[in-house]
Structures are given as structure tokens and as C-alpha cells.
Amino acid sequence: MLTADLVRVRRAKEQLRLVPIKAEARAAVEALAARYLQIAESQVGGTRSELMAAFDAVPFAARDAKLVSGLIKLTLDRCEFESKLEHDPSELRHRVFIRAAARRRELGPTGRLDRDALLEVLAREEDVTPELLMRLLYADLKENHRLIGFDRIRADALLSLYELSSEQAVLLKAESVVVVVHESTPAAYRRFFRKLKFLRLLHRAERLPSGAYQIEVDGPFSLFSAVTKYGFALAMLLPVLRESERFNLSASVRWGKERERLRFELEGGLQGASGKSTKASLPDEVSALLAGFPKQAGPWRVRVATRIFSLPGVGVLVPDLTFVHRESGFTAHLEVLGYWSREAVFRRIDLLEAGAKAPFVFAVPARLRVSEQVLPDTLSASLYVYKGVIRPKLVRERLDALAGAQETPE
Amino acid sequence: MVVLPTGAGKTHVAVMAIERCQRAALVVAPTLDLVSQWYEILRVTFGDEVGVIGGGDYRVAPLTVTTYDSAYLHMERFGDRFGLVIFDECHHLPGETYSLAAELSLAPFRLGLTATPERADARESALPRLIGETVYRRDIVEMSGAWLADYETERISIDLSPEERETYDRARETYRDFVRSQGIRMSSPNGWGEFIKRSAFSESGRRAMAAYRLQRRIAFSAKAKLGVVEHLLSVHASDRAILFTQDNRTAYEISRLFLVPAITHQTKVTERSRILSGLAEGSYRAVVTSKVLNEGVDVPDANVAIIVSGSGSVREHVQRLGRVLRKRGDKRAVLYELVSADTSETFTSARRREHSAYR
């Protein structure tokens, strides 16, 4: 991924815009990218400093300096350098330098150290050649790390990656992001929301009269801690958006040393073109519950949720799992709020109170300090506060209680 | 503020000030190495628990040691808990952020210790406001012999080889042509920044930057310098020598060539301690370093300093000399300065020698 200092941007009033690679220059930039990729591939076996020297030897126009640094960074991201060494270089250095110091002392002020002869002896003791001994001596310095592998990519794909990475680098500086997503089918919306949840992004969603969804996502700069990890997750939202039918993104970013507040806008999507859609995975705790529940299921069947509950003007509830009672057909939904905030829990309660009638179980981690009693009795919902892992047996108890309450006449 | 050369007993002055004041005291030092040195000194001298703030520790005690970084970040919280604050190497204090460490402290008693208060940005003028006036000052010349080791300095002029000379002159011309063509005055305060900026925007600029680096590298590590280093290592085979370079690259080159240990910012703490103990006990007789040993760290047995290359900073040069001046018996110290003749290094050397210690 690129860092903010490698991104080519222009400021226009309060807007931050990326400087695009012009169509007429694209072929030349692609040739440059191909050159860097070819260098990296040919340097496998060499050191990092040799690789960097080979990169430095490629001529380019001075105005492209930032673009070139970005291409080199993305090429380096695909390089694998040797990190574990057979010999501990610091121990080797200690042995070599101690012997050299002792030898110098023996020779006294008039003698001259025969370096080659000493290296011969030391290399024999280490069971290596003198050349290898010298190479191993400082093999732990970053510039001497060996390039042991390179993940190939085509030059045009590197350019596309550069463009995506530039957009992602801007999002790393976001305070808040508002996205409007248009999909052509309900299934596509479900897939989108599942991916959003998989990324563990803090968001609020609402359905617009047009049928599209507007999602407000907190940016890393609005958080107090773990900014880097969250920023990376937010950056991963972009590839998800690019797989949607159409999207518009508007972000408030803090840019530059002065952290100036600027607006950044993007739009895109497949727009009818066919694209390879990546699989929507479940978050770990939801997968674990889905796998573990059948042993405790009793009369309940569990499946991945497919519904989105939308209350116009209020918000959206997106469950993770759906449970169906085999005998009565009673259906309840579960949402895991593992990475959310306290505020998000109360927002869900508001949504239920505002009219979302479906029975719900919310699994809330104990760290959010929410009591199971906060839910009003009038709601067909249950809070399950868990410590560490979600226990299927306790989920089932909540489901049984919800189903029982439904059957009990008032 | 007390201005004394390295090895003249600044630490002793601080310990006496703590004893005299009888107040909770905070010592602020620039590096974690110095924080651990202060920790040991205070613990052994006063026998009390000593607090540490910085490097992952946050323990506040009536005697506490911290770094400048931690001090300016946390002084707001503990600035009212110490009656005495001691700023070690206090020339660091007048920086924009570090000065907060003094401004946010309520301590009525303050002591600043340094060998060289003067700064390139002239902000030493803030020191009287942040700490107090200079109450005692002695320089190296006044203290050598009785309080510091006797010393001599020798400047060795090195001739470039004919090939080096040709490459040097050509590279220098390329660099100077560009500077002239752009109307950049390198002697002005913004000259260097202007050169960096403009060199990035044109082909000729990039060539000029590469040429600038090349001519510097030739001057810093001329082949004949390495010959002299070999000679000096032999002559001082029974002494303890520290070789100083301007850059890591030259430090590692010397380490490989002469098989002496190197200490740079990339050296891990454990290896660094092992090298310094080796030098103290005599299993190593020489160590090469770039800049990390310039300041503070105690190497009492070292008696030979070899400046292979360095900047034009007077402070750096005085600090490097200070590394070998700590008094021990009838130790006599020597500082060699290797300078490539008829290169920009001649001017650099003249600039850094503008101190009484070199007259």
C-alpha cells in the first residue's frame, strides 16, 4: 500500500483530488513499471541494496519522481526478503573481531595485520569460504538482506494497483466517509453488507428512497487508538466498493502536516460491466458460532442471514445469522456486535423500538459494559452479553425464551 | 547553568545539587543510554528507589530520571511534583517541543549541564529563561591536565589518488555549475534546502545531487585515509581507540576492512553493550562509530580518537574529543583528524575547529 507522502494530489479550494495518469502518458508509465518489475524479478538472489541501486539506475523524467517512488514501493511490497539467518551475525562478528584485536596486539605497533591470512583461518573455523564469511558478517543489516522471492504482476495491473493504492492512502487519513451504494439485486446488497461487516468497520446505514443505501463509516482519524489497523480495514473497503454496481464516496480527510480538513470524492463501480466478485466471508466469531451451534441446536436450524431490515428514516439492521424453529417455524435473527461501540448497541435498540418487528438476539461483548436488562420487555429481542467466546448453548437459551414469549398469551 | 567539558564532573555537580536542595528531583537526559547511566548513579549514590519515565517505564519517585521526549509529553502531569529539575546535555532543551519540558515544570530550582550550549539555530538564548543564567563555565583547555586527561590533536592531510582527484573535480564542477545556474547561495541559511528542492525538479538537478554526493563520498573515504587508519590502528594496538565517521556506510566499510566492531543506530542494545564492555576490558582495542557515540555515553578507557570524517559542527567535534578526555591515572589522549586535502572537507574541518580546544 502507498503512504500519504507517495500520493500525487492537487488541492482545489477545499477539495483534495488525485492527479490521474494521463491517457497519453499511460504507455510510457506502463513501460517504466515493466522495467521495475523486470529488475525485481532479475534481482532475486541479490541484496536489497543491489536491488535499490538497480532501481536508481532507471532514468525517468523529474516530474515523475513521486509516481516512480510509488511504483517502486508497490514493487518492493511484492518482494520477499530473507529474514531468518542460519548464522547469528552478531555472534560471528564477536568471534571475528575479538580474534583480529588479539592478533593486532600480538603484532604490536610495528607489525601489520595480514587480513587475508586471518580471514582464511577464521573462515576455516567457521566452515565457510572467506568470501562467504565476509558476506555473513553483516548479513543482518537491512541493506544486505537477500531477495528470495518476487510475486509477479503485469505492468498494467501494477498501474491499476497504483491507482487503487493512491485512493486507499487518502482514506487512511479520513475522519468520516459517506458512501452511497447502488446494487441491482437484493443478493448483491446482502453480499455488500456482509463484506462491510467482515472488515469490522464502524458504520451506520440507511435506505434511500431510490432504493440505494447510504452508509456512514467512521474514519481512522475519528478514533482514539488502533488507528493503523482500522485505517487498513477502511482502505480495504475500496476494492469492495469497486465490485458494486455503482458507488459515490465522499470523505472528510485530514491532509498534510497541518492536518488540513479537505473533502475527497470518488465514484465508480462495475456500471453493468461484469466483474469478478470476491467471496463474502463471515467474521471469525460468527463462523465459530455457525459451526458450533448444530451440537446444541435442539429444534433450531441455523443459516447465514439473508435479510436486511430497513426502517425508512431510521436505519438498517443487518443480521449475521438466522435461526428457524423446526416445529413452529418461529424465526429469529442474531447480530454479533463484537467490534462495535456501546452507542451502536443502543442504536439497535432504538431501531427495534421504532418498529423493526423481527425477533432479534444481539450478542454483545462484556467490554462494552451493557447490561442484558437494558432491553424493554415490550420488545421481542434479547441481549446476550458474552465474555471471550459466544457459547452456542447460551444463544439457544435466548432463542428458546424468545420463542416461548411469542407463544405465551398476554 | 553549568558548562563543563565531558569528563570534568558534570554528574558530580548534579549529585551535589540534589544533596544540597533536599527536594524531590527530576533528571532529564537526551537518550535511553544516558537515562540508564543516571539511574545507576542515583541509585548507588542515594540508595533510594529511583523512578524512570520513558522507554516503556512509568514509575514516578522522589528521584526520577526521564528523557526529553517523555518530559515534554508528561511534564503537564508531574511538573508540580519536583522541586529541582536537572537538564543534562541541556543544549537540547531550547527546541520547539522540548522547551515545554521546562515551561510546564513548577520547579523553583533548576540546573542545566552541558559542554557546549551553543546551537546552530542560536536558540541557546532561551536557556536563561528556561533554566537560568550560566553560573560556572570552564573549557577543555582550562581543565586539561588537572581535571581532564592531557591531550594533543593532530590534523593529518590526505592526498586524493589521481583517479579520485579527477572524479572529485568533475563531480564538484557539475554540482557547482548547477548551483550557479540556479542562483542558489549555499552560504545563506536556506541555501541547502533550496538546493534539495530544485535538484528534484530537473534532470540536471538530479545529476547535480548525485555529483554532490559523489564528491562528498570521495572526500570522506579517500583510499589514502584508509591507509592512514591501518597505520594508526597498528601504532595504537595497545591503546583504546574510537574511530568516528560521518556516515554509516564508511563505518561499516572500516569495520569490514580492519575487522573492528562498529556501532551505529542499527546496532542492537545488547551488541552495543557487549562492544563497549569489550573496549573497557581490553578484548577490543578499537571501535568504529558514525554519530551514536558522539554524546554522553561513558567510555572512560578510550584514549585515541580518530576522526575519519565528520560534519562542520563545532559541538560534534568537541564532543568527539570529549570521549577520550576522561581522566584516568596519567592517561594521555590524542585526537587525529584525517582531512582530504584540497577538497570541501578542508573548509568543513576549519569550521569545526573554531573552538579553543583546537587552538
Interchain contact, B283 vs A112, CB within 8 Å: no
**Are residues B87 and B215 both part of a single domain?**
no
Are A115 and B258 a contacting pair at CB < 8 A?
yes
Per domain, the residue ranges of chain A are 89-139, 172-279, 284-405
Q: Could you tell me which residues of chain B have a Cβ less than 8 Å from any Cβ in chain A?
A: 200-203, 205-206, 230, 233-238, 252, 255-261, 266, 268, 270-271, 274, 278, 283-286
Q: What is the pLDDT of residues B152-196, one digit of tens each?
A: 889 999 999 999 999 999 999 999 999 999 999 988 878 888 898
Distance CA A162, CA A156 (A): 10
Given the C-alpha cell 548464522, which residue does it identify? A87
Instruction: Report the C-alpha gap between B29 and B136 in whole angstroms.
Output: 20
Question: Which residue is it, cell 467512521?
Answer: A218
Closest residue on chain A to B235 (Cα): A109
Same domain, B112 and B8: yes
Instruction: Please tell me the distance from the alpha carbon of residue B227 to that of residue B235, in angstroms, as a whole number.
Output: 13
Among chain A residues, the shortest Cα distance to B266 is held by: A141
pLDDT band at A407 (very low <50, low <70, confident <90, very high): low
pLDDT for residue A410 is more than 50: no
- Mean pLDDT across chain A: 89
User: How far off is chain A from B264, nearest CA to CA, in Å?
Assistant: 11
Q: Do B191 and B215 sit in the same domain of this protein?
A: yes
Which residues on adjacent β-strands are paired with residue B111?
Answer: B86
How sure is the predictor about A408, in pLDDT bands with cuts at 50, 70 and 90?
low
Amino acid (one-letter) located at B25: A
ipTM at complex level = 0.77
Question: Distance (Å, rounded) from C-alpha B232 to C-alpha B227?
Answer: 9
C-beta of residue A384 within 8 angstroms of C-beta of residue A364: yes
Cα B267 from Cα A187, distance rounded (Å): 56
B248 near B267, Cβ under 8 Å?
Answer: no
Rounded-to-integer distance, Cα B33 and Cα B23, Å: 25
- Of the residues B138, B173, B197, which one is the last residue of a structural domain? B138
Instruction: Using CA coordinates, name the residue in chain B closest to A56.
Output: B210
Same domain, B231 and B182: no
> What span, in angstroms and rounded, lies between the C-alpha atoms of A386 and A292?
15
User: pLDDT tens for residues A184-222?
Assistant: 888 888 888 888 888 888 888 989 988 899 999 887 776
pLDDT value for A127: 92
Position A226 pLDDT exceeds 70: no
Q: Are residues B231 and B333 in the same domain?
A: yes
Residue A100 — pLDDT band, cuts 50, 70, 90? Answer: very high
**Domain residue limits at B22:** 2-138
Query: How many domains is chain B partitioned into structurally?
Result: 3
**Could you say which of B260, B266, B285 has the minimum Cβ distance to residue A105?**
B285
The pLDDT, as a whole number, for residue B257 is: 95
What's the gap in Å between the CA of B246 and the closest CA on chain A?
18
C-alpha triplet A256, A260, A265: angle, nearest 5°: 90
Model confidence at A225: pLDDT above 60: no
Q: Which of A297-301, A381-385, B313-317 has the lowest mean pLDDT?
A: B313-317
Fold of A172-279: Alpha-Beta Plaits (3.30.70)
The predicted pLDDT at position A112 comes to 86
pLDDT along chain B (359 residues), means of 10: 87 94 95 84 89 84 93 88 96 90 94 89 92 92 78 92 96 95 87 86 85 93 93 91 92 95 86 87 92 70 90 81 80 90 89 73
Minimal Cα distance from B200: which residue of A?
A62
Cβ of B259 within 8 Å of Cβ of A134? The answer is no
A284-405, what's its fold?
A: Trna Endonuclease; Chain: A, domain 1 (3.40.1350)
| Mean predicted confidence (pLDDT) in A238-261 | 90
Which of A61, A65, A96 comes nearest B259 by C-beta?
A96
Same domain, B76 and B6: yes
* Same-domain check for residues B47 and B94: yes
| Confidence (pLDDT) at A370 | 85
Question: B102 with B33, same domain?
Answer: yes
Nearest by CB to B285, from A63, A101, A138: name it.
Answer: A101
CA A98 to chain B, closest CA, distance in angstroms equals 6
Beta-bridge partners for B113 = B2, B88
Residue B319: inside a domain: yes
With vertex at residue A329, the alpha carbon angle to CA A326 and CA A335, rounded to the nearest 5 degrees, is 90
Residue B76's CATH number: 3.40.50.300
Q: Which residue has the higher pLDDT, A276 or A355?
A: A355
Cell of B207: 545529476
d(CA B198, CA B206): 9
Chain A residue numbers with beta carbons less than 8 Å from the beta carbon of B257 are 115
pLDDT in tens, A103-139: 998 998 888 889 999 999 999 999 999 999 999 999 9
Q: Which residues of A touch B (CB under 8 A)?
A: 61-63, 65, 90, 93-94, 96-98, 100-102, 104-105, 107-113, 115, 118, 134, 137-138, 141-142
- The rounded distance, in Å, linking the Cα atoms of B86 and B111 is 5
Alpha-carbon span B218 to A26, nearest angstrom: 40
Strands across the sheet containing B25-29: B57-59, B51-54, B63-67, B25-29, B84-88, B109-114, B2-3, B136-137
Helix (H) or strand (E) holding B85: strand B84-88
CA B35 → CA A289, B41, B50, B300, distances in Å? 51, 10, 11, 18
CA dihedral B179, B181, B185, B189 (to 10 degrees): -60
Q: What is the DSSP letter of A209?
A: T
Q: Of A48-57, A314-323, A366-375, where does mean pLDDT reach its minimum?
A: A366-375
Do residues B59 and B47 touch, judged by C-beta distance below 8 A? no
pLDDT of residue A29: 95
Residues B9 and B88 in one domain: yes
**Residue B145 located in a structural domain:** no
Q: Are B66 and B127 in contact (CB under 8 A)?
A: no
Q: Which residues of A touch B254 (CB under 8 A)?
A: none
Q: What pLDDT does A274 receive? A: 66
Q: Whose CA is closest to B131, among B179, B175, B98, B177?
A: B98
Q: What mean pLDDT do residues A45-67 have?
A: 89
Q: Which of B234, B252, B284 sits opposite A97 (nearest CB)?
A: B284
Contacts of B234 in chain A (CB under 8 A): 104, 107-113
Verify that B342 and B248 share a domain, yes or no. Answer: yes
User: What pLDDT is recorded for position A65?
Assistant: 86
d(CA A97, CA A99): 5
